[in-house]
């Protein structure tokens, strides 16, 4: 007993040091910081061991890239197919992860029958109302937050032409963002417990588009439309970002009483014969660090999500015809890159709980 008592201070010191040791994964850093660290996923890749093991180890939140979009869920007008989305939910449940839903209303990735159906606004309204209701009720209790409307504004901050606004729309053509308000009302009716987000790109800094997004969200809040947050996609091109402007934009959005999620973060690098310049890898890491800092310094920024996590399956390569790539925290062999370490260090430094 005496030997144990003598050793007790050393044991307590060891346990204290272990508790304060730097986290070794993104997920552990995020858990300690009270932050959601997520990534977009493809259920077809869950059978790849390196993919599924990295996903489970590093992230506490997942979002399907395509598995809950119209063209997957509703390939035929009269039937809903939830199989791929259900795979995402099962994976998340098996690994203690939250599921973020994406997306219910978008002008892209709609099935051919919808665009070529020559529907009236009344019919489009019924179709969209039915879609939001069926999808959200199916996933109620399993999906904690939804991107209700995705990319509703163009780069100048004007309402986009779309099947839901004016081609032919759902009955609010020419009424600005009123169709957006209606979709949020339907979404809240379908699942009152889910957090509802507006998600867009190009509005992360202070510019014409972010001003328009801010004005729209402020108006929706003032009119009592049930909206809980805004997603800032954060696809970063040409290694250009103004972190101070991002932080200022997050501050004004959270001041409206909205949560902010970074939803589709990736930072493309120029490729030279498929190779990355080492100095660009360092610059990429610093930008990842700066974006993480802009979020975690504001308590209203509650989630950071990358659009995929391994360069092996990033959309950047095909989108840029091979001129850009290496945009994510893990390389094609699932090896962590400098960006990975930078993110962990920034989360730990700025928002860590004992």
- Residues with catalytic roles: 151, 264
Query: How many Cα atoms are found within 13 Å in the side-chain-facing hemisphere of 255?
Result: 8
Q: CA-to-CA distance for 297 and 221, rounded, in angstroms?
A: 24
Helix (H) or strand (E) holding 325: strand 324-325
- Is residue 108 classed as helix, strand or coil in its secondary structure? coil
Residue 197 · residue 229 · CB < 8 Å: yes
Show the tokens assigned to 126: 């019924």
The CA-atom distances, in angstroms, between 2 and each of 6, 7, 229 are 6, 9, 58
Show the tokens assigned to 22: 């730097």
Convert 177-198 to b/e letters by CB count within 10 Å (16 or more is b): bbbbbbbbbbbbebbeebbbbb
Q: Which of 71, 215, 85, 196 is nearest to 144 (CA)?
A: 196
- Secondary-structure percent of the chain, ordered helix, strand, coil, rounded to 5: 45, 20, 35
């Amino acid at each position: 007993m005496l030997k144990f008592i003598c050793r007790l201070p050393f044991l307590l010191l060891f346990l204290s040091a272990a508790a304060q040791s730097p986290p070794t994964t993104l997920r552990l850093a995020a858990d300690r910081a009270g932050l959601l660290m997520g990534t977009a996923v493809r259920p077809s890749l869950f059978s790849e061991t390196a993919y599924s093991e990295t996903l489970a180890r590093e992230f506490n939140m997942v979002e399907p890239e395509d598995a809950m979009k119209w063209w997957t869920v509703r390939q035929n007008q009269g039937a809903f197919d939830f199989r791929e989305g259900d795979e995402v939910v099962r994976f998340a449940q098996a690994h203690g992860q939250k599921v973020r839903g994406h997306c219910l209303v978008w002008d892209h990735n709609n099935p051919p029958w919808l665009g070529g159906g020559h529907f009236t606004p009344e019919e489009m309204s019924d179709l969209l109302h039915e879609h939001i209701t069926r999808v959200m009720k199916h996933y109620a209790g399993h999906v904690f937050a939804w991107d209700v409307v995705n990319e509703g504004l163009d780069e100048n901050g004007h309402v986009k032409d779309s099947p839901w606004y004016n081609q032919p729309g759902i009955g609010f053509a020419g009424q600005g963002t009123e169709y957006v308000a209606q979709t949020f009302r339907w979404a809240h009716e379908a699942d009152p417990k889910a957090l509802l987000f507006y998600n867009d790109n190009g509005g992360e800094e202070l510019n014409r588009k972010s001003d328009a997004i801010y004005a729209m969200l402020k108006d929706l809040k003032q009119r009592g439309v049930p909206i809980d947050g805004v997603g800032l996609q954060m696809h970063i091109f040409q290694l250009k970002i103004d972190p101070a402007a991002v932080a200022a934009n997050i501050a004004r959005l959270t001041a409206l009483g909205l949560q902010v999620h970074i939803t589709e973060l990736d930072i493309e690098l120029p490729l030279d014969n498929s190779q990355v310049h080492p100095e660009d890898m360092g610059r990429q890491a610093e930008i990842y660090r700066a974006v993480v800092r802009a979020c975690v310094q504001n308590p209203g920024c509650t989630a950071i999500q990358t659009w995929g996590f391994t360069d092996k399956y990033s959309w950047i390569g095909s989108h840029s015809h091979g001129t850009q790539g290496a945009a994510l925290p893990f390389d094609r062999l699932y090896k962590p890159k400098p960006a990975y370490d930078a993110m962990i260090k920034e989360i730990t430094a700025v928002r860590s709980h004992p």
